[in-house]
Structures are given as structure tokens and as C-alpha cells.
Structure 1
Amino acid sequence: MTQSPAGTDNRLQVLSLPELQRALCLAEEDPALQALLAQPARLLEHLMEAGRLDDALRFLAHALPGREAMWWGCMCATATLPAPDLPAERATLAAVEAWVRQPADERRRHAIIAAARNCTGLPAGWLGLAISWNHALGGMAGFGPGVEGAVFQALDRAGEGVPDADAARRRESVARRFIASGLAIAHGEAGRIAQIPPGPHAAEAGS
């Protein structure tokens, strides 16, 4: 992957057509998307204008540079921590954030071990896997698949306990908040997301 051309106002990376097809699970070429390959910000806008919010989330997971993508995954996961939250997952997210700030070997190991021990099946667990996969393959794996898993796990968690009649509206609202966070990070901002309250029946859903 290459950085966006000089002069653009964000850090989104230009994906090749095969990379884009894999990221969005496209079986066939999409001429509209192909025409925007060199304009990642415009491509993201196109997906959002078309109402393809899930694809917009997938695109961000793969088009954000590695550490920015991992930070975004942390923001999505943190915003959807249940109340009361999970201390082990919060601690793991803190470990991943520490690695993002300074990707030293000791911090990498700490984040991977914390995720594996305490966060299997949780958004933070996916972020630990992203670090592990990327390290195991010498940086060739990228962080996109793990970040994508974390973001969608967080999106699903935000919908727990929400009545069926409100589920689609809730999912769209949270997805747009996640996308706004990813765009802010692409522009060099922190991209923090205000805590998303659980659905009214979250306790029943988790029991």
C-alpha cells in the first residue's frame, strides 16, 4: 500500500484494486469504486453516500495506516464497554494503546498476552490478534483484518439489548460515530468517541 498523494488532507492509504476487493469482499469489480482508487477520502464518501456503512467501516480498517487503525479499534472498543465495564478488557485496551504510542517489543508482548488471556471473543481480543498476526508474518499481514474484527465486534456489542424495532437505527447511528472517529484519526486527531450507553435490555441480553 502507498500513502495518499501529497497535498491530500488525510492519512488514508491508497489500496490497490485486489486489496480493495479483499477488504470489501467484492466478488466482481465495481467501476464506481475502481474510478476512485487513488482518492481514498472520496471513495469513503461514495460508500457512505450509497448507504454502505459496513463497507465504509471495512475500508477504514484497511486504509488507515497500521497504528492509526489500531488506535481507531481501541476507540470503538472503549466506547462500547458495558456498564459496569470489564476490567480485563479495559486493561488490555490500555496495553494496546501503550503499544500504539510506542511499539516496543515489551509492549507488544504485554498487549498480545493480555488479549489472549482475558479477551477472547471481545473487541480487545481482536486487536491483540492483529498485533500478533502482523508480528508473526514480519509486518506483511497488516492490521486490517484484526481491526475490522474489533470494530464489528464493538458494533454488535453496541446493539445488545436494543429492541428489534430500533436495532437498524441504532446500528446506523453507531456506525456513523465510528466512521467519524476514523476520519478524525485520519486527520491526525484523537478520534475519541463518547461512551455509547447500552440498550435498555442489555442486562437480559447478557444473561
Structure 2
Amino acid sequence: MSLRFGILVFPAVQQLDLTGPYEVFASAAGAEVHLVWKDLAPVVSATGLTLNPTATFETCPPLDVLCVPGGSGINALLEDEATLRFLRERAAAARFVTSVCTGSLVLGAAGLLAGRRATTHWNALDFLAAFGATAVEDRIVRDGSLITAGGVTSGIDFGLAVVAALLGEAEAQTVQLCLEYAPAPPFAAGTPGQAPPAILAQARERLAGSRAAREAILARLKHPA
């Protein structure tokens, strides 16, 4: 029997949050991967790549793994009851409920992080407390059936960890080798702790707009009109 993975796809998703784990999941033995959204119309990612949903909220089959990627588009999802209801319903039956990057905030808005350990992109870690979660500054955090990953590129590591949990380490290592995943970045600037102060300041400035929008949304969720 195949394993079914369902990855939420939505306007302004961060494509690598989605395509990183997608590639890993789709490379696993017996895997069936669905890109799920409200309809089947093409979706444009935050960086302009067009993605095609393969299932809707209504037609999506039962899932072993439910995954929510991040990106600037999650801001709208934090207050989108149709999406949050879908996640709550599917989470109840999935073997693993998962996220990459700021997708964890959407899980939080759906009420799926309360009392759980979780992680997200470094620029959003402090938002997790608003959803009753304990923020953990790790690349991958597992709390029972909940698995969350840090920012963007961590989705590949996360995908391998999920495959290992489902099919064993040998299958995960086989997938890793087939993908030749042996990262050796040219710069040591991949985390706030590694990056030079000037680079960190520049990154914070670049992300400030989206962060401010999320702060406003969280304020509304905490104190609805």
C-alpha cells in the first residue's frame, strides 16, 4: 500500500519550502504526493514559480502525512477558516502533522500546536508562543506525531527525517544518496548565529514587511474586533 503525502499549496508559498520535501517524499518507495488547495487553478509562488494543485480540499484522499510549507502567503491563511478547518479535519487522521518554515504558524492558527514543542524560521520563532507552543531553535523538532522544520532549506532534512520515521533509515539514506544531498554551502551565513552582524541586519530589514504584517494579524487573533 502506498504512503500518501499531502502538501498544502497556496498563493505566495515559498516554493523551496514545498519543493524540497516534495522531491524527498516523491523519491521514497511507494510514495504518492498530492499538492492540495481549494481548487485546481495554477498557483504562483512567492518567487514567481507556477505550481499546479493536484487535489482540492474536497477531493484529497486520506493522508499519512499532512505538510504545510511557509512563505509570505501564510499571512492570509492565518485568518482563512476554510484552510484552517481542512487542516484540523485532516490532522485528526494523519500519522504525522508537519510543517516547514512559517507553515508552523498556520498549524498554530488551526489550534494544532497548543502544548507542543515546535520550530519555524528564525525570524518567526517568537510568534510560536502566541499559539501555545514551546519554541525550539532546532532544524527539525519532533513532538510525537507533530514534526516541524526550520526555515526553507531545512525542508530537505525534514523530508528525510519523515521518510526515516515511516520507512526506516535505510530508505531515507537511499533517497538522500539518489538526490546526492551532501550540502556544503560556500558561506557560513545560514543562521543568525553564523552570519556577520551586517548581514543579519540586512536580512532582518528585508523580512521586516512580512513580519510586521504577521504581528498585526496575531494582534487581531488575540483581540478580535
* TM-score (normalised: structure 2): 0.29
More strand by share: 2
More helix by share: 1
